[in-house]
Chain A
Amino acid sequence: MKSLKKFALGMAVAGLAATAAAAETVKIAYIDPLSGPFAATGTNGLHQYQFAADTLVNERGGVLDGQMFEIVAFDNKISPKESLIQLQVAIDQGIRYVVQGNSSGVANALTDAIAKHNDRNPDDRVLFLNYSAVDPALTNDKCNFWHFRFDAHADMKMDALTDVIAENEDIKKIYVIGQDYSFGKAVASAAVRMLTAKRPDIEIVGNELHPIGNVQDFTPYARKVVSSGADAMITGNWGSDMLGLGKAVIENGFSGPIYTYYAAADGITAAFGETGVGSLKLVAEGGNNPPSKPEAQEYVRAFKEKHPDGNISQSRITNVVQMLAMAIDDAGTATDVVQVANALEGMEFTDSLWSDNPMVMRPDDHQLIQEVHIYGHVPVEAPFDFDNSGYGLKYENSIVNAGADLPTTCEMERP
Chain B
Amino acid sequence: MSTPSTNPLTAGTSRLVPLNHALPWIIAAVALFLLPVIFDSRAALTIMNQMAITIVFALAYNMLLGQGGMLSFGHAVYMGLGGFFSMHVLNWMSDDPWLPLPVLPIFGGFFGLLFAFLIGWFSTRRAGTTFAMISLGVGQLVASLSIIIVIFFGGEEGISGNRTDMLPFFGWDFGQQQEVYYLTAVWLLIAALGMYLYSRTPMGRLANAVRDNEERAEFLGYSQRNVRWISFCASGFFAGIAGALFAINFEILTEENLNLATSGSILLVTFLGGVGFFIGPIIGAIVFTLLQTVLSLHTEIWALYVGILFVATVMFFPFGLTGLLALHVMPWKLGKIGYLVKPYAKMAVPTLAFILSTAAVLEILFHARHAGRGDNEMTIYWWLTFDSHSPLPMIIGLVIAGVSAYALVKLAPGLKAAWDEATHMGEAGK
| Chains A and B touch (C-beta atoms under 8 A apart) | yes
- Residue contact A306 to B297, C-beta cutoff 8 Å: no
Mask of A7-35 contacts with B, CB within 8 angstroms, 1/0: 01100111111000000000000000011
Min distance, Cβ B18 to any Cβ of chain A, angstroms: 33
- Residue contact B147 to A212, C-beta cutoff 8 Å: yes
Given A9-B39, A47-B372, A79-B256, A116-B251 contact (CB < 8 Å): yes
**A4 cross-chain contacts in B, Cβ below 8 A:** 38
Highest count of chain A CB atoms <10 Å: which of B41, B251, B303, B375: B41
- Residue contact A182 to B254, C-beta cutoff 8 Å: no
**A189 cross-chain contacts in B, Cβ below 8 A:** none
- Residue contact A89 to B43, C-beta cutoff 8 Å: yes
- What's the Cα separation between A211 and B157 when bound, in Å? 15
Min distance, Cβ B383 to any Cβ of chain A, angstroms: 12
Min distance, Cβ A291 to any Cβ of chain B, angstroms: 21
- What's the Cα separation between A89 and B303 when bound, in Å? 20
User: Which listed residue, B47, B176, B252, touches A113 by the CB 8 Å rule?
Assistant: B252
Chain B's interface size range is 35 or more
User: Which listed residue, A80, A112, A211, A305, touches B373 by the CB 8 Å rule?
Assistant: A305
**A79 cross-chain contacts in B, Cβ below 8 A:** 256
When C-beta atoms are compared, the residue in chain A nearest to B293 turns out to be: A85
Mask of A146-174 contacts with B, CB within 8 angstroms, 1/0: 00000000000000000000000000000
**A135 cross-chain contacts in B, Cβ below 8 A:** 157
Given A112-B252, A211-B144, A308-B373, A104-B157 contact (CB < 8 Å): yes
Min distance, Cβ B96 to any Cβ of chain A, angstroms: 20
Min distance, Cβ B53 to any Cβ of chain A, angstroms: 10
- What's the Cα separation between A231 and B147 when bound, in Å? 31
**B342 contacts partner chain A, Cβ-Cβ < 8 Å:** no
**A214 contacts partner chain B, Cβ-Cβ < 8 Å:** yes
Given A14-B297, A81-B256, A109-B160 contact (CB < 8 Å): yes
- Residue contact B256 to A88, C-beta cutoff 8 Å: no
Given A75-B297, A182-B156, A307-B373, A12-B252 contact (CB < 8 Å): no
- Residue contact B254 to A120, C-beta cutoff 8 Å: no
Tell me the A186-217 residues at the B interface (CB within 8 Å): 211-212, 214
- Residue contact A306 to B50, C-beta cutoff 8 Å: no
- Residue contact B43 to A306, C-beta cutoff 8 Å: no
- What's the Cα separation between A318 and B404 when bound, in Å? 48
Interface residues of A, CB < 8 Å — how many? 52
Mask of B42-53 contacts with A, CB within 8 angstroms, 1/0: 111111001000
Tell me the B145-168 residues at the A interface (CB within 8 Å): 147-148, 150, 155-158, 160, 162, 164
Mask of B373-402 contacts with A, CB within 8 angstroms, 1/0: 111000000100000000000000000000
- Residue contact A211 to B147, C-beta cutoff 8 Å: yes
**A14 cross-chain contacts in B, Cβ below 8 A:** 294, 297-298
User: Which listed residue, A9, A13, A113, touches B294 by the CB 8 Å rule?
Assistant: A13
- Residue contact B47 to A85, C-beta cutoff 8 Å: yes
Min distance, Cβ B101 to any Cβ of chain A, angstroms: 14
- What's the Cα separation between A119 and B175 when bound, in Å? 9
User: Which listed residue, B150, B155, B176, B254, touches A109 by the CB 8 Å rule?
Assistant: B254
**A74 contacts partner chain B, Cβ-Cβ < 8 Å:** yes
- Residue contact A13 to B47, C-beta cutoff 8 Å: yes
**B296 contacts partner chain A, Cβ-Cβ < 8 Å:** yes
Tell me the B8-32 residues at the A interface (CB within 8 Å): none
Min distance, Cβ A98 to any Cβ of chain B, angstroms: 14
User: Which listed residue, A109, A120, A306, A310, touches B164 by the CB 8 Å rule?
Assistant: A120
**A274 contacts partner chain B, Cβ-Cβ < 8 Å:** no
- What's the Cα separation between A181 and B175 when bound, in Å? 31
- What's the Cα separation between A411 and B300 when bound, in Å? 40
**A297 cross-chain contacts in B, Cβ below 8 A:** none
- Residue contact A84 to B250, C-beta cutoff 8 Å: yes
**A103 cross-chain contacts in B, Cβ below 8 A:** 156
**A306 cross-chain contacts in B, Cβ below 8 A:** 372-375
User: Which listed residue, B44, B177, B297, touches A74 by the CB 8 Å rule?
Assistant: B297
- What's the Cα separation between A198 and B375 when bound, in Å? 50
**B302 contacts partner chain A, Cβ-Cβ < 8 Å:** yes
- Residue contact A180 to B375, C-beta cutoff 8 Å: no
- What's the Cα separation between A377 and B178 when bound, in Å? 53
**A338 contacts partner chain B, Cβ-Cβ < 8 Å:** no
- Residue contact B373 to A109, C-beta cutoff 8 Å: no
Mask of B103-147 contacts with A, CB within 8 angstroms, 1/0: 000000000000000000000000000000000000000001001
- What's the Cα separation between A88 and B249 when bound, in Å? 12
Given A9-B39, A105-B254, A35-B155 contact (CB < 8 Å): no
- Residue contact B252 to A80, C-beta cutoff 8 Å: yes
**A84 cross-chain contacts in B, Cβ below 8 A:** 46, 250, 252
**A92 contacts partner chain B, Cβ-Cβ < 8 Å:** yes
Mask of B341-385 contacts with A, CB within 8 angstroms, 1/0: 000000000000000000000000000001011110000001000
Min distance, Cβ B167 to any Cβ of chain A, angstroms: 17
User: Which listed residue, B43, B164, B251, B374, touches A88 by the CB 8 Å rule?
Assistant: B43
Tell me the A54-102 residues at the B interface (CB within 8 Å): 74-75, 77, 79-82, 84-85, 88-89, 91-92
**26 A-B contacts (beta carbon < 8 Å):** A12-B39, A12-B44, A13-B41, A16-B43, A35-B296, A35-B303, A39-B300, A74-B297, A80-B254, A81-B50, A85-B43, A88-B42, A88-B43, A91-B42, A92-B42, A104-B157, A112-B160, A112-B251, A113-B250, A116-B251, A119-B175, A180-B147, A182-B155, A306-B373, A307-B372, A307-B373
A92-B43, A309-B372 are known contacts; what are 9 more A-B pairs with Cβ within 8 Å? A5-B38, A12-B294, A39-B300, A81-B256, A84-B252, A88-B45, A109-B158, A113-B252, A181-B156
Identify the B interface with A (CB < 8 A): 38-47, 50, 144, 147-148, 150, 155-158, 160, 162, 164, 175-177, 246, 250-252, 254, 256-257, 292-294, 296-298, 300-303, 370, 372-375, 382
